[in-house]
Structure 1
């Protein structure tokens, strides 16, 4: 079956902007969403800065009623519902009156309701089980985000939550793509979300993978591809997509943001140089090559890369892996962008947040600035001409973008997106 699959709606809750229009402005401005976090300082974290989305009471009231918000404190579900509902509406869709058997939801997360779970644990330990309330399970179950979205929209097709560390967002998009290509759904609301706060970020601080050198200057703290990168800045948020067949989109005169050409997911099996926290380079390169093959394009067709690039010691290795997989280097290397300089590392939401950025780049023809890498790492400079790593906004007619995510557990995902053209 040669079904063309497109993205017709986007939604975003990010550290530097909430809502697609403001997020596009933030990208083009190079706006940082990384700020000092008083809670992290009070708890004596080494890293006392973070990328936490700003969500107002007015934003919450758009999609949650007063009863739902009573005792509600699951940031992953909050971010995911806000992003998912925005994507659905921007695709020109409304909530179903009766069950919509043709539409589903694949929305991932790494955790759900960590703060709510902590609250519940204390109440249980204090013998206050009867005071837990009736929403603890719905806020903390792993599939909570897809269940909330499925209920708000009346979705009757597959409604599920995937979880694969940092590749969760890219994986959800490819799972939706595969289901639509197989003819098992007309449209899928895909995406991923993440919890925020010290109880989700504490483990990373303990691992010493977060920066501690920019607590007094938060906006400069996340430094992908920089020689002075000192670890990632924790972040959170959600990105969402309405993925559907082109035939469906055309039939209802829906806006088309981009076309999904294909992609690939694999694992390095934690063998060779791969571990729980480090990538197997052979697997990374294989993932990129297979994504290109499955998309039916040539490596030379890729205009730009939206990288994983976490501001750790693995950035140079990622660049080398891209170069080896594509057979491109120097001035022939695609343009490359690292969003985490503005948002920090949004963990299970990172792939979807960065994919929203990649779609906007295609749709509006621009390369957003790579902030905080004015001192490009010498190992990266040896592979890529610095001109291919823009540090200022640049308008460019982009046709194909490759987006990759790499995650704990030695897992990899690569998505190939194309600017939509009605004739193919």
Structure 2
């Protein structure tokens, strides 16, 4: 694989904190939670009654007819992609923007896929019979539907990949996009992930496996990474998209560059289908792999946007990973847990958190972790509870993502 340098030239998101990147960044810096009490009729019977709904509904943005042909997860994907594409300076399709569509790719993930489409059509089948099931159900529910619709919208023909690695999926999309460019298969790739799983069945399933917090207090205080009172994650929804390009391609067209993808690492725990390796060995291999991939000195890492879901075991394991990979330098690293505000976006998490990591580098300001009242003594990290300034000069930041099945992805971004 070549050492082609890969840079970020566009970003887009829709999530519980904001309907675009600017609003999201302002909300994260302000410590604003997007977690709310669910108002759906079905929520009253659920063991968990809170979640992170997106701040701006797709109906306020997308054409109504087009939206009806898309699962909610794909709706989020197209909204975030449109912002990222325009932010990168492109208009219309790839060819209309002066690009060769054969050199534009997609690496866009989902952890679960079109679960709301699947379950609603199953309800229709039971209640009204097979003739009433939507003929669009399969192209709406398939996990690669968001990637396919992005490819169709922008005429991106290099590839339309869909990594499905649970909660690590969005970050894996960024890693695969980086590989596409380094392998010479594309000049520009739309990368990231999406999820829309706020539905009775996923909520009941996550709750019954003791993964979700059952705290029924103020919804904005329930997601609390590293706090001694944490008892599980808060389900969220949303999407994030990055436009990645080779540095040469970006410079040739005079593009604004936010950051560089310095290195990526992927590993598997091979430990348990749901629980992380308690020693954090798998995640450590992913982080070490990202550092090796970019020939990165651990001392250049000044900030980590951690996976930090608020699960008792996961938060401790991630702390061990950072100590194992960054050594004594970990004491000089500012750590943020933005899921304290967004909730856990599953397949969209790694993408949205990549955006937060890049914005932190770009503005030299790490976002806070909210709801951290009493830090777990087993987690020996410098966790920002207020916005924290980052150093000047050439610096790097790490984004971690881990998922069920033992999936681990680490991405290191560098200032430029």
Q: TM-score range by the shorter chain?
A: over 0.9
1:132–1:261 distance in 2 versus 1, CA, 3 Å: same
Q: How far did residue 32 of structure 1 move?
A: 0.5
Distance in 2, Cα, partners of 1:152 & 1:309: 34
Q: How far did residue 38 of structure 1 move?
A: 2.5
Does residue 66 of structure 2 align to residue 68 of structure 1?
Answer: yes
Contact 2:48 2:203 in 1 (8 A): no
TM-score, scaled relative to structure 1 = 0.91
Query: What per-residue deviation string (whole Å, max 9, x for no partner) do you get for residues 206-249 of structure 1?
Result: 11221112x23011000001011111111111111001101111
Contact 2:169 2:348 in 1 (8 A): yes
1:286–1:371 distance in 2 versus 1, CA, 3 Å: same
Contact 1:276 1:408 in 2 (8 A): yes
Unaligned runs of 5+ in 2: none
Does residue 25 of structure 2 align to residue 29 of structure 1?
Answer: no
Q: Secondary structure at the match of 1:378?
A: coil
Q: How far did residue 74 of structure 1 move?
A: 1.8
Q: How far did residue 57 of structure 1 move?
A: 5.6
Does residue 323 of structure 2 align to residue 327 of structure 1?
Answer: no
TM-score, scaled relative to structure 2 = 0.93
CA RMSD in angstroms, aligned pairs only = 1.9
Aligned position for 1:208: 210
Distance in 2, Cα, partners of 1:120 & 1:190: 29
Count of aligned positions: 406
Query: What per-residue deviation string (whole Å, max 9, x for no partner) do you get for residues 378-412 of structure 1?
Result: 112xx33xxx2121122323621011111111111
Does residue 80 of structure 2 align to residue 86 of structure 1?
Answer: no
Q: Which moved more, 1:129-138 or 1:344-353?
A: 129-138
Aligned position for 1:369: 368
Contact 2:18 2:27 in 1 (8 A): yes
Q: How far did residue 4 of structure 1 move?
A: 0.8
Aligned position for 2:107: 106
Unaligned runs of 5+ in 1: none
Q: Which moved more, 1:106-115 or 1:301-310?
A: 106-115
Q: Which moved more, 1:318-327 or 1:217-226?
A: 318-327
Query: What per-residue deviation string (whole Å, max 9, x for no partner) do you get for residues 14-65 of structure 1?
Result: 111110110110111011000011238734222211111033466433xxx3
Aligned position for 2:337: 338
Q: How far did residue 287 of structure 1 move?
A: 1.8
Q: Secondary structure at the match of 1:17?
A: coil
Query: What per-residue deviation string (whole Å, max 9, x for no partner) do you get for residues 178-230 of structure 1?
Result: 110111111110000001322333211111221112x2301100000101111
Q: Secondary structure at the match of 1:18?
A: coil
Q: Secondary structure at the match of 1:260?
A: strand
Contact 1:404 1:414 in 2 (8 A): yes
Aligned position for 1:164: 165
